[in-house]
């Protein structure tokens, strides 16, 4: 039996990879392989406030609401949009 597990990691290369993602049609470049919902909300200037929800666009499916503690694996072309957190119908 061999206990050699050290340099067999074929995961991340030493150089950081950059991912291009969009939030509300603005392009952002990120180098982290995983971002939390809170980190995504801090990318725009100003930050996305608590009065808005963040959603990942899912082509051909239902868009996915990203909670602040959610972990999102980055990949090129990811798209997100914001929407009001509460929609209050008008009153007379």
Q: Is a pLDDT exceeding 70 seen at residue 26? A: yes
What is the pLDDT at residue 92?
A: 58
The strands making up 26-30's β-sheet, listed across from edge to edge, are: 26-30, 19-23, 79-84, 52-56, 64-65
Is the CB of residue 51 less than 8 Å from the CB of residue 85?
Answer: yes
The reported pTM is: 0.77
* Distance separating alpha carbons of residues 56 and 79, to the nearest angstrom: 6
What is the pLDDT at residue 7?
A: 42
Average pLDDT value for residue range 47-68: 97
Q: Is a pLDDT exceeding 60 seen at residue 4? A: no
Is the CB of residue 48 less than 8 Å from the CB of residue 35?
Answer: no
| Bridge partner list, 61 | none
More confident residue, 18 or 90: 18
What is the pLDDT at residue 86?
A: 83
């Amino acid at each position: 039996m061999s206990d050699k597990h050290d340099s067999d990691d074929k995961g991340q290369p030493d150089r950081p990879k950059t991912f291009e993602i969009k939030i509300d049609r603005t392009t952002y470049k990120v180098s982290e392989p995983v971002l939390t919902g809170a980190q995504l909300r801090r990318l725009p200037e100003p930050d996305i406030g608590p009065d808005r929800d963040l959603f990942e666009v899912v082509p051909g499916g239902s868009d996915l609401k990203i909670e602040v503690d959610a972990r999102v694996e980055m990949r090129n072309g990811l798209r997100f949009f914001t929407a009001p957190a509460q929609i209050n119908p008008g009153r007379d």
